[in-house]
Structure 1
Amino acid sequence: MDKKEIYLVDDSADHRYLVRTIFKKFLPNYHVRFFQGGNELYQFLILQSSPEYTGRRPGLIILDLKMPAINGLELLKLLRRTPDNTETQWKTIPIVILSNNNSNEIINRCYLSGANSFFIKPVEFEELRFMLETICHYWLDYNKLPALTQSQPEQKPAELDLEE
């Protein structure tokens, strides 16, 4: 099965290095594309929206919250407003926020802006490794996203048949 790509956006070269090391050594089955900031990811999204783009599509996006230019919260809002195309449903791609800030106000703003999860960045290497393993297994191996459809009409919850 062709795994979708993980996009990790973090302005800290040290943190990107740690995460790269963890994926190479402990999570080699996942493919990660690293971005130094929101501007870099946004430019890549423009490239990816081209019909000629044949690269991997994101299955999970991990955002640092505190970054220069476009911070994680602004980037989250931008991603959630990005129009879907025939290959990618931006509104349903899991987006995980990593931050050193554990203020309830920030956490609430992230969830209200479309975050699927919010994690405090671990200080210890093993904790970071365990957290990344958990995030990847949950969002990429176990979680089920809606199938990509061209123009399926929206259904109201009352109209859904939940009988199995």
Structure 2
Amino acid sequence: MENREVYVVDDSADHRLLIRTIFNKFLPNYHVRFFQGGKELYEFLILQSSPEYKGRRPGLIILDLKMPAIDGYELLKLLRQTPDNDVTQWRTLPVIILTSSGTESDIDKCYSAGANSFIVKPMEFEELRFLLETICHYWLDYNRLPTVNTELNVTS
């Protein structure tokens, strides 16, 4: 698959290390890139939106909600407002909220802003491993996204 790159945005170094361990040991077929916060990812996405960018493109973003500077909700809104280009359709790129907060208002806000899924972080290692395996298999192996005509800005 060409879009097997997973972006993980989480301000917790411990959580990033845990996820890195799971990907290295149990999900080696997926490439994962880590970002410490929303501002870091957004700056990278601006670079990536350039036609000259030749690196890997994301197939999935896993996003923490509570982060300093640009939190997950604000980043989600920015992602969904980024214009699509020939290689990345920001409006339909799967974005999964994986957070420790599960309030109804957070859930409602995230879905209204364009989240594809909202999941409360499991506390056990095996549960997190199973969850990440399921997320990656579903969103990167089985799910099919629409093609986007950037000139007309309509789904074809």
Normalised by the size of structure 2, how large is the TM-score?
0.94
Give the structure 1 partner of residue 22 of structure 2. 22
2:86 is aligned with 1:81: no
Deviation of 1:152 (Å) = 4.9
Structure 2, unaligned stretches of length 5 or more?
Answer: none
Q: Distance in 2 between matches of 1:143 and 1:130?
A: 18
The aligned residue for residue 90 of structure 2 is 90
| Pair 1:32 & 2:50 matched | no
2:42 match: 42
Structure 2 residue aligned with 1:121: 121
Which residues of structure 1 form unaligned runs of 5+?
Answer: none
Cα RMSD (Å) of the superposition?
A: 1.6
Q: 1:17-39: CA deviations, max 9, x gaps?
A: 00000000000000011000011
Q: Is the 8 A contact 2:3 2:57 kept in 1?
A: no
Which structure is larger by alpha-carbon Rg, 1 or 2? 1
Matched residue type, 2:142: Y
In the alignment, structure 1 residue 104 sits paired with structure 2 residue 104: yes
State the Cα distance separating 1:105 from its structure 2 match.
1.2
TM-score by length of 1: 0.90
Cα distance between partner residues in 1 of 2:150 and 2:111: 27
Distance 1:39 1:22 in 2: 25
Provide closer, same or farther for how the CA distance between residues 40 and 149 of structure 1 changes in structure 2, counting only shifts above 3 A.
Answer: same
Q: Paired residues, what number?
A: 156
CA gap of 1:150–1:113, structure 2 versus 1, over 3 A, is: closer
Alignment correspondent of 1:147? 147
Which SS does the other structure have where 2:139 is aligned?
A: helix
User: Secondary structure of the residue that 2:16 maps to in structure 1?
Assistant: helix
Match of 1:2, SS? coil
